[in-house]
Amino acid sequence: MYHKISTLILVLCWSGILAQSGQLQLALLKYKGGGDWYANPTSLPNLSRFANQELKTGLALDYATVEPGDPNIYNFPFVHITGHGNIIFDQTEALNLRSYLIAGGFLHIDDNYGIDPYVRLAMKQVFPELDFVELPFDHPIYHSKFDFENGLPKIHQHDAKPAQGFGLIWEGRLVCFYSYESDLGDGWEDIEVHNDTPEAHLKALRMGANILQYAFEN
């Protein structure tokens, strides 16, 4: 019952913002710890543009920056984390992020190479009772708009490990999707930044659109 009520409150909050500004924004999480939370500055604008074309979302092309302890996090239906290094949440930040996700928000974590050990510890503060689970290839997030029969696409090589999609599932709902060893965010960036092929760039954007559509519909 709490989940249904809190989700309704969050939806009404987003509706109010939409009425005032005409557009919803994606948000980038600014965290403590020294990691480069600001990496990939062109990725979210490009993803928003692609989602507007393919999903008809009407997202603002500029993104917001929000801290995990900020009450304004409830203004955003989708929050993105990226970076290469350390992430630290204090108790207030962890509790606020937890409340946001339980209330209907969605968190996408993208491994930009090297974030894995830090983000797992940080998210354990948010949901100490949950562990990341690898999502099967038939999970709806891989098929919500575009079909990815083999799961998360591999965009950058890094350690040549397979790309894996992990999730935190709260009461049957996927509240956090963690793209590991894929580097979707680099793939979303302007194509000349990393000299990605047009095919890799499109593949990354399509998977990003899948994540957005899933987040907005569930």
Q: Which residues pair with 110 in a beta bridge?
A: 179
Which of 69, 66, 113, 111 has its CA nearest to residue 91? 69
More confident residue, 156 or 46: 46
* Higher-scoring residue by pLDDT: 152, 1: 152
182 phi/psi in degrees, rounded to 5: -120, -50
Distances (CA, A) of 98 to 58, 77, 93, 146: 27, 14, 8, 29
Q: Is the entire prediction scored with pTM above 0.85?
A: yes
At 156 the pLDDT is 75
Interatomic CA distance for residues 27 and 24, integer angstroms: 10
- pLDDT tens, position by position, 168-198: 999 999 999 999 999 899 999 998 887 789 9
| The pair of three-digit structure tokens given for residue 38, joined into one six-digit string | 């600001």
| Pairing state between β 173-180 and 164-170 | antiparallel
DSSP 110: E
Of 177, 3, 156, nearest in space to 78 by CA: 177
Per-residue pLDDT tens digits for 39-61? 899 999 999 999 999 999 999 99
Q: How do residues 6-43 score in pLDDT, each as one tens digit?
A: 443 344 344 434 433 457 999 999 999 998 999 899 99
Residue 1, pLDDT score: 32
* CATH code reported for the domain at 2-217: 3.40.50.12140
Can you give the C-alpha Rg of the chain in angstroms? 16
46, 189 in Cβ contact below 8 A?
yes
Could you tell me the pLDDT band of residue 4, with boundaries at 50, 70 and 90?
Answer: very low
Q: Where are the domains of the chain?
A: 2-217
Asked whether the predicted pLDDT for residue 76 surpasses 60, the reply is yes
